[in-house]
Amino acid sequence: MQPNILVTGGAGFVGSHLVDALINQDYNLRVLDNFSTGQWENLTHNNDKLEIIKGDVRDLESVMAAIKNVKWIFHQAGFVSAPLSIKQPQISFENNLLGTFNIFEAVRRQGSLARIIFASSAAVYGDNHSLPLHENLPCFPLNPYAFEKNAAEQLAVLYERLYKVSSVALRYFNIYGPRQSASSPYSGVISKFIDQLKKGEKLTIYGDGEQTRDFVYINDVISANLEAMKKVPPGAHLFNVATGKSVTINQLVKSLQKILKTVMAPQYQSSREGDIYRSLADISKISEQLGWYPKWDLAQGLSDWLR
Ligand code: UD1
């Protein structure tokens, strides 16, 4: 049977969870991944149920081949670190903006009716401090990564207007869950802290620890993607994906210490350059239009992950 869904970045953190969920629902899948950060291990349990293409979204020919005959494209491939994008703007630009352009352009060139659901980020709000962050607020990107995600969203609007390519941009807030990389200095705070606590290392909190984040569990991110596929009509759409609740880093550390039964006090260092102090999403748009609500609060998500 022909694959009817393509997942780019299917070997990565979000992509591989999407693959699991879609296979469970009996869709036929193709994965496009260059395996630069994606892991084969994330796919091995599904190997025989998938078509896997080792290829790069920066290459239009590879993308053209990968989108053949698919009805849905979940575009999760990309350069994932905002701070690293400041040090490596060209690689970030090529992966995130050229890569996303290639997806839209391949759909246009093939006259395909495929719809695109792609990963955007809360980073697009950047220097906007009007909490909770609603999709209608203006964006002030503060780094190449945020700029590229924001530009990709605008490209989606343009491709819908000019060529009737339909898409949904999902602005992910701070995602956490199994398979998230913990090994890099740019890893998300939760996976980094869990890794350090398990190794008995001291945690470092940047700043006073009273900064807040809207942490969303991977299972909720996957259900938001599935709802977008099932419920969004044609057009170019945009939704926050978050819980609508925020937690301080100090509270996060307490919750992790409780679950992992450790008491080692964290050390405090000066705040990270360019760190946003408060982040909180308004999720009324996705709730009203897609009937999507997060099912996992932080305590539930952490317990599920660490059980
Ligand atoms: C996250 C995204 C980033 C996006 C931004 C948009 C991740 C991994 N990054 O960045 O791509 O641009 O949202 O809002 O999801 N912290 C510590 N100690 C540590 C590590 C982090 O105290 O060892 C603190 C940070 O200073 C920050 C908070 O934890 O205040 C969250 O950090 P992090 O997980 O890196 O995510 P964001 O900076 O929110």
What pLDDT, in 10s, does the model give residues 45-70? 988 889 999 999 999 999 999 999 99
Spatial distance between the Cα atoms of 193 and 206, rounded to a whole number of angstroms = 12
Residue 269 phi/psi, 5-degree rounding, is -125, 170
Q: What pLDDT was estimated at residue 142?
A: 93
Cβ of residue 268 lying under 6 Å from some atom of ligand 1: no
- Block means of pLDDT (10 residues each) for the chain, length 307 residues? 87 98 95 97 91 98 97 97 94 98 98 97 94 98 96 98 98 97 88 95 96 98 98 98 98 95 93 89 98 97 95
Cβ of 204 closer than 6 Å to ligand 1, yes or no, is yes
Closest CA to 100 of 77, 66, 72: 77
- C-alpha 189 to ligand 1 mean position (Å): 6
Please name the amino acid found at residue 128: N
Q: Give the list of residues 6+ apart from residue 177 with CB closer than 8 angstroms, or none.
A: 13, 17, 217, 218, 219, 301, 305
DSSP H/E element including 267: strand 267-269
What would the pLDDT profile of 105-161 be if each residue is shown by its tens digit?
999 999 999 999 999 999 999 989 999 999 999 999 999 999 999 999 999 999 999
Average pLDDT value over all residues in the chain: 96
Between the CA of 188 and the centroid of ligand 1 the distance, in Å, is 6
- Would you say 175 and 188 are in contact if contact means Cβ atoms under 8 Å apart? yes
Q: Is the CB of 129 under 6 A from ligand 1?
A: no
Q: What is the pTM of this model?
A: 0.97
Domains in the chain, CATH or no CATH each: 5-174+216-241 (3.40.50.720), 176-214+245-282+290-306 (3.90.25.10)
The pLDDT value given to residue 183: 83
Residue from 254, 270, 299 nearest 207 by CA: 270
Nearest Cα residue to atom 3 of ligand 1 = 82
DSSP letter for 127, please: T
The catalytic residue positions are: 145
Which residue lies with its CA nearest to atom 12 of ligand 1? 123
Nearest-angstrom CA–CA distance, 45 and 24: 12
State how far the Cα of 99 lies from the Cα of 102, in Å rounded to an integer. Answer: 5
78 alpha carbon – ligand 1 mean position (Å): 18
| HSE value, Cβ hemisphere, 13 Å, CA-based, for 85 | 22
